[in-house]
């Protein structure tokens, strides 16, 4: 019953954006009453096993005074997500995501952007946040070397194949390079990056450790929130308090500056 109600609720609130490249995206846009409020862009993690993609942090962010753009990643294998990037090697999803963010930002005439997400959404918040010169990024337990993550166990092969059209080493290498290249090649004003993670769960050694190192070497302004949970999926429990605290600090700072 709860699942059915949630489906109806999201369907009623969700809208469809058609990008110039004809790619369609589902999204929810919540506008602030304050014209000069920042725009928060929210990227989703993978849903639970057996479920299709859904929006993340709608309830968590309900009292946050900002414009909020939730983008659905209902692409790829079983419509569970394609990292907002591609299907069968065609990166038209990535182009459409950049397009909707730019369009919304222009229509709202907002000066400041904050990109957020966890796990898959954490990767996307960093990748698009750096690529599109966001002011702030709040990322929870993100993947970093994406090709390695999608090829470490056979069960992930369908996800990798749905994104790249194959599981070849060249595709793995291409995905591995996406975020590290963006971090190292970014120029001008860099976003302030907030990273939440646990040193006790497997993605720390495999991803987060190298991410933090590369961000530090590239001289990004970093705020780290280190927890002690052992299961990656628990990020959904531990991230929200850090998210709300960080957003409160950022939004208050922006109000003072204005």
From 70, 60, 59, 56, select the one nearest 17 (Cα to Cα): 70
**Which of 41-50, 55-64, 114-123, 205-214 is the least confident region?**
41-50
> Is residue 7 included in any domain, yes or no?
no
> Is residue 158 included in any domain, yes or no?
yes
> Is residue 168 included in any domain, yes or no?
yes
Helices 157-164 and 169-185, packing angle to 10 deg: 70
pLDDT by residue (tens digit) across 11-32? 778 999 999 999 999 999 999 9
pLDDT(215) > 60: yes
- For residue 84 the two structure tokens come to 């907002």
The pLDDT value given to residue 12? 79
Mean of pLDDT values over 55-84: 97
The pLDDT value given to residue 2? 53
Alpha helices in 52-168 (DSSP H): 92-108, 120-131, 146-149, 157-164
Q: What residues have CB less than 8 Å from 46, skipping those under 6 apart?
A: 53, 80, 81, 119, 120
- Per-residue pLDDT band for 233 (boundaries 50, 70, 90) equals very high
- For residue 85 the two structure tokens come to 């990037």
Q: Are 145 and 176 in contact (CB under 8 A)?
A: yes
> Is residue 9 included in any domain, yes or no?
no
> Is residue 6 included in any domain, yes or no?
no
Q: Cβ atoms within 10 A of the Cβ of 94, count? A: 20
The pLDDT value given to residue 112? 98
pLDDT(8) > 90: no
Structural domain including 41 reads 14-257
> Is residue 187 included in any domain, yes or no?
yes
- Per-residue pLDDT band for 252 (boundaries 50, 70, 90) equals very high
Q: What residues have CB less than 8 Å from 239, skipping those under 6 apart?
A: 118, 140, 141, 196
- For residue 213 the two structure tokens come to 């190192």
> Is residue 202 included in any domain, yes or no?
yes
Beta bridge partners of 222: 193
Distance CA 186, CA 232 (A): 29
Distance CA 242, CA 249 (A): 11
pLDDT by residue (tens digit) across 105-134? 999 999 999 999 999 999 999 999 999 999
Question: Residue 111 belongs to a domain with what CATH number?
Answer: 3.40.50.1820
Number of domain units in the chain: 1
Helix (H) or strand (E) holding 227: strand 222-227
pLDDT(190) > 70: yes
pLDDT by residue (tens digit) across 134-143? 999 999 999 9
> Is residue 2 included in any domain, yes or no?
no
The pLDDT value given to residue 9? 66
């Amino acid at each position: 019953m709860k699942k059915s109600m949630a489906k109806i609720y999201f369907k009623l609130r969700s809208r469809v954006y058609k990008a110039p490249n004809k790619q369609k995206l589902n999204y929810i846009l919540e506008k602030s009453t304050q014209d000069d409020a920042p725009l928060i862009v929210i990227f989703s993690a993978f849903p639970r096993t057996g479920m299709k993609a859904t929006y993340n942090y709608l309830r968590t962010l309900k009292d946050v005074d900002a414009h909020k753009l939730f983008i659905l990643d209902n692409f790829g294998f079983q419509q569970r997500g394609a990292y907002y990037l591609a299907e069968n090697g065609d990166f038209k999803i990535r182009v459409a995501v950049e397009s909707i963010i730019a369009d919304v930002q222009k229509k709202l005439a907002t000066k400041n952007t904050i990109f957020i997400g966890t796990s898959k959404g954490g990767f996307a918040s960093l990748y698009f946040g750096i690529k599109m010169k966001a002011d702030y990024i709040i990322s929870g337990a993100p993947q970093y070397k994406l090709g390695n993550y999608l090829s470490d166990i056979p069960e992930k092969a369908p996800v990798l194949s749905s994104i790249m059209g194959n599981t070849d080493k060249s595709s793995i290498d291409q995905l591995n390079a996406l975020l590290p290249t963006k971090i190292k090649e970014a120029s001008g004003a860099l976003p302030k990056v907030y990273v939440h993670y646990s040193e006790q769960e497997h993605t720390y050694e495999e991803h987060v450790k190298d991410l933090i190192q590369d961000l530090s070497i590239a001289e990004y302004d970093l705020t780290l929130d280190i927890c002690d949970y052992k299961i990656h999926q628990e990020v959904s429990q531990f991230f929200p308090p850090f998210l709300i605290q960080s957003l409160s600090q950022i939004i208050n700072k922006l109000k003072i500056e204005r």
